[in-house]
Structure formats: structure tokens, C-alpha cells
């Protein structure tokens, strides 16, 4: 898909067969990728009808990429991913509230701590840490897309 978008950026309005040839992708696969990119609003489709009848057999379909629309779509997808990560972290904290409470209590008394509880708590903390790292990476990506 990245190759197809770069071909469209270089050439402008282009037909599917020319895109497939330039991107070195089979025509059928190129069509599927183009339709997926169009559905996800990364690229636009312009159809020209040769005759007055709107027959798809006589139409010419030209694909194009608008850089501002592309950037806007990527930013929206990154923002959605950040939101999903934050919601997931919030859910994990609500589910693992018992682990956090037990860890606070265990900090005061270390006598009755089970090994399984320690392992589960460490796995819980590691999961939260991974979610935090992913959120920070996406935040940095969004900052780069917005500022540069």
C-alpha cells in the first residue's frame, strides 16, 4: 500500500493498471489495495464516463492522493489508537484494582505473600507498562505529524 501511495504522489491521477505496473504489484492485488485505501479515505477516486450512459465498462477510473487528506486521515487514525490504548489501560486498572490494593498491603507486611500472587502482580504491572509505552510512542508520532 505504501508503494502504491508513493506512485500516486509522484504521478497524480493514474489508472489502476499503470499503478500496478509502476508499483510492481499484480493488477488484481493493486485493485484490492486501491479500494481498501479509498474506503479508509487515504486516496480519492475520480471516474470519467465516456458515454452518457453510466456503464462501468466504458468508464475510466483515475486514482489520486491528496497530501492534506492523507495527513488528516493518518492523524485521525493515530488519535483513535491513542484513545483505544488509554481506554484499555483504564479498563485494566479497574480490573486489576485488587492486585494494586494487595500490593499496597503487602508492602506493609511481607510475611503472607504467595509466589503466585507476586507473579500475577508483576505480569499485571508489565502489561500496564507496555500500554504506557505504546501510548507514549503514539503520542510522539502524533507530535511529529503535527509539528513537522
Q: How confident is the model at residue 57 (pLDDT cuts 50, 70, 90)?
A: confident
Q: Give 83-133 pLDDT, tens digit per residue.
A: 999 999 999 999 888 877 777 776 655 544 577 777 888 889 999 999 999
Name the average pLDDT for the chain: 89
**Cα 117 to Cα 80: distance, rounded to the nearest angstrom:** 34
The pLDDT of residue 109 is 52
- Number of helices (H) and strands (E), helices first, in the chain? 6, 2
Q: How confident is the model at residue 47 (pLDDT cuts 50, 70, 90)?
A: confident
The pLDDT of residue 112 is 47
The pLDDT of residue 100 is 77
3-state SS class at 61: strand
pLDDT at 45 over 80: yes
In 3D space, the residue among 133, 140, 128 whose CA is nearest the CA of residue 94 turns out to be 128
Phi, psi of 61 (to 5 degrees): -105, 120
The pLDDT of residue 107 is 62
- Residue where the block lists cell 466504458: 58
Comparison of pLDDT for 122 and 49, the residue scoring more: 122
Amino acid at each position: 500500500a505504501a508503494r502504491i501511495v508513493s506512485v500516486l504522489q509522484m504521478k497524480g491521477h493514474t489508472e489502476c493498471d499503470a499503478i500496478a505496473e509502476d508499483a510492481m504489484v499484480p493488477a488484481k492485488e493493486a485493485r484490492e489495495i486501491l479500494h481498501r485505501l479509498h474506503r479508509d479515505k487515504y486516496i480519492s477516486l475520480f471516474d470519467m464516463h465516456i458515454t452518457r450512459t453510466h456503464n462501468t465498462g466504458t468508464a475510466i477510473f483515475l486514482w489520486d492522493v491528496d497530501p492534506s487528506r492523507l495527513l488528516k486521515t493518518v492523524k485521525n487514525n493515530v488519535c483513535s489508537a491513542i484513545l483505544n490504548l488509554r481506554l484499555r489501560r483504564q479498563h485494566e486498572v479497574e480490573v486489576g484494582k485488587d492486585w494494586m490494593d494487595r500490593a499496597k498491603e503487602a508492602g506493609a507486611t511481607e510475611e503472607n505473600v504467595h509466589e503466585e500472587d507476586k507473579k500475577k502482580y508483576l505480569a499485571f504491572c508489565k502489561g500496564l507498562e507496555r500500554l504506557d509505552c505504546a501510548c507514549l510512542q503514539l503520542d510522539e508520532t502524533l507530535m511529529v505529524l503535527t509539528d513537522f
